[in-house]
DNA sequence: GGCCGGTTTGACCATCCGGTCAGCTTTGGT
DNA sequence: ACCAAAGCTGACCGGATGGTCAAACCGGCC
C-alpha cells in the first residue's frame, strides 16, 4: 500500500522488537543483552527476531538511530529569535523532562558514549557537532548583545547535558542518597535557579 | 613475613591483574570484558588470573572497592572549618582533576551505576549516603550563616558530580564536538565561574 | 476448499567464555 | 645441593549465545 511496503504485522513486530531491545540494551548494555532476553520481552521467538533484523548488531543500531532524533529535538527547538534566558531555561526544562520520562533512552545513549561510541561516532561528528556549533553561535550572539553573561558557549551546552542527564543515568545513586524520594521536582527548581544565576549579566 | 603473608610476586601480579582489569572493564563493561583480554593486558595466562582471584566477579569487586576510596576522598577533604567558597571550589577542582587523570576509574564507576549498581548498592547506601548527608549538613550550616547562597545542598553536590564526571564519562562526545581540543583548561575556568556565581549570596 | 506468499519455529551448529585440573617449573629456605 | 611450597600452564569441560535452516503454519484471495 505505502511506498515502503510494510504490512501491519511487520510494523507491529518491528516496533515490539525495538521497544524490547531498548528495554534490555539500556539495562544490560550491548554485550550483556542476549537475543533470548529481547525475544522474551518482545513476546517473540529468537529466530523470529532474526527474520525482522539481520543481526543483534542491526537491532542495536536501529534502536540508537531512532533515539538520536528524539534526543536532539530539544536543542533544535531552542529559538534564535526568542528571549535568551527563557529559551535556555526552556531547553533545560525539556531536557530534564526527557531524563524523567525516557530514562532508558538516556542510559542507552550514555552506555554507547561510555564505550567510546563504536556505533555512533560518525553520527556524532556528522550531526551533533554541527548542531552544537550552530547553537553555540546563537549563544555567542546573545552574549555579544549583552543579553546573557559571557561564558564558553560549548561548555554551557555541556553543562546542560551533564546536569540533566545525570538524573537519568545515575538514577540509582541519586535515589539511594535521597532515600527513594522523587528527585525531579527539587531538581527542576534547583536547575532553574542555577541557570538564572549563571546567565544573569 | 608480614601479618598478611604476601610475597613480592603475589603483590606484583595482583597489582598487574587489577590494573589490567580496570583498563578492560572500564572500556567494555563487566559482561563485555573477557578473562582472556584481562590476562593478555596483564601479561599473564588466564588460569594464572584464577590462581590469584577465585572468579571474574571477584576481580570486578576488587577493582570497584579499591576505586571507591579514591573517588570519595575529595569530598571527604572538604573542610567544615574552611572558607565556604574556597572549600567548594577546591572540591570542584579536585573532582575535575580526578576526571582528567583517572578517566578509566570514572567510566568504570559510571558503568556500574548505569547498570543499577548490582555490586555496589550496599556500599553506596552504607558509605556514600552518610558521607553526603554529613557534607550536606555542613553546606546547610554555611547557608544558615549567610556565607553562601541558599540552595538544595544535596542537589548542589549532585551538580558537582555531574559537571565534573561528564568530562571523563562523555570524553568521546566532548572531544568530537570540540574537534579534539583538550577540554580541561576551558572546563576548569568555566566551572569556577559557574560555581562562583551560583554560590554568591 | 485450495493455493501462495509472508510468517513462525524447533532443532541444530559453531564459537566463545568462565572455570577446572593434573602436572610442570620456579623459588627460597636450610 | 636438596626439597617442599609457591607459582604457572596446556588441555579440557560445560553451558551460554548468535545465528541458520528446513519445515510448518496461517491468512487472505481465487
What pLDDT sits at residue A2? 36
- The tens-digit pLDDT sequence of chain A (201 residues) is 333 457 778 889 999 999 999 999 999 999 999 999 999 999 999 999 999 999 999 999 999 999 999 999 999 999 999 999 999 999 999 999 999 999 999 999 999 999 999 999 999 999 999 999 999 999 999 999 999 999 999 999 999 999 999 999 999 999 999 999 999 999 999 999 999 999 999
Q: Quick one: A123 exposed, middle or buried, by C-beta within 10 A (0-12, 13-18, 19+)?
A: middle
Structural contact between residues A63 and B151, judged by C-beta atoms closer than 8 angstroms:
no
> What's the gap between Cα B94 and its chain centre?
11
Interface membership of A181 toward B (CB under 8 Å)? no
User: What are residue A152's phi and psi, to 5 degrees?
Assistant: -70, 115
Q: Quick one: A116 exposed, middle or buried, by C-beta within 10 A (0-12, 13-18, 19+)?
A: middle
Residue among B46, B156, B67 at smallest CA distance from B109: B67
Q: What ipTM was predicted for this assembly?
A: 0.93
Write down the architecture of domain B1-54 according to CATH. Answer: Orthogonal Bundle (1.10)
**pLDDT tens digit string along B137-187?**
999 999 999 999 999 999 999 999 999 999 999 999 999 999 999 999 999
**Residue of chain A minimizing CA distance to B172:** A116
Interface membership of A27 toward B (CB under 8 Å)? yes
Domain range annotation of chain A: 1-54, 63-199
Count interface pairs A-B at CB distance under 8 A. 160
**Residue of chain A minimizing CA distance to B156:** A190
CATH, domain range A63-199? 1.10.357.10
DSSP A34: -
Strands (DSSP E) along B95-144, which ranges?
none
Provide the CA B38 to C1' C24 distance, Å, integer: 24
Q: Which residue has its C-alpha nearest to nucleotide C10's C1'? A: A47
Structural contact between residues A169 and A98, judged by C-beta atoms closer than 8 angstroms:
no
Interface membership of B62 toward A (CB under 8 Å)? no
Q: What is the pTM of this model?
A: 0.94
Does the beta-carbon distance from B172 to A30 stay under 8 Å?
no
Q: B49: which nucleotide lies closest, measuring CA to C1'?
A: D8
- The tens-digit pLDDT sequence of chain B (201 residues) is 333 457 788 899 999 999 999 999 999 999 999 999 999 999 999 999 999 999 999 999 999 999 999 999 999 999 999 999 999 999 999 999 999 999 999 999 999 999 999 999 999 999 999 999 999 999 999 999 999 999 999 999 999 999 999 999 999 999 999 999 999 999 999 999 999 999 999
What pLDDT sits at residue B65? 93
Q: Given this chain, do its domains B1-54 and B63-199 carry the same CATH topology? A: no
Amino acid at each position: 500500500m505505502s511506498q515502503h511496503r510494510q504490512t501491519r504485522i511487520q510494523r507491529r513486530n518491528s516496533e515490539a522488537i525495538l521497544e524490547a531491545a531498548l528495554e534490555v540494551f539500556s539495562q544490560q548494555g550491548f554485550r550483556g543483552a542476549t537475543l533470548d532476553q529481547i525475544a522474551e520481552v518482545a513476546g517473540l521467538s529468537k529466530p523470529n527476531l532474526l527474520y525482522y533484523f539481520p543481526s543483534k548488531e542491526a537491532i542495536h543500531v536501529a534502536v540508537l538511530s531512532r533515539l538520536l532524533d528524539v534526543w536532539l529535538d530539544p536543542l533544535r527547538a531552542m529559538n534564535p529569535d526568542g528571549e535568551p534566558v527563557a529559551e535556555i531555561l526552556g531547553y533545560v526544562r525539556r531536557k530534564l523532562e526527557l531524563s524523567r520520562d525516557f530514562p532508558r533512552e538516556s542510559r542507552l545513549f550514555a552506555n554507547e558514549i561510555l564505550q567510546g561510541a563504536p556505533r555512533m561516532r560518525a553520527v556524532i561528528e556528522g550531526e551533533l557537532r554541527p548542531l552544537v556549533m550552530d547553537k553555540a553561535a546563537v549563544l555567542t550572539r546573545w552574549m555579544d548583545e549583552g543579553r546573557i553573561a559571557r561564558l564558553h558557549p560549548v561548555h554551557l551546552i555541556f553543562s546542560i547535558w551533564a546536569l540533566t542527564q545525570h538524573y537519568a543515568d545515575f538514577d540509582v545513586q541519586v535515589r539511594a542518597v535521597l532515600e527513594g524520594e522523587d528527585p525531579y521536582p527539587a531538581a527542576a527548581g534547583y536547575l532553574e535557579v542555577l541557570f538564572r544565576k549563571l546567565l544573569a549579566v
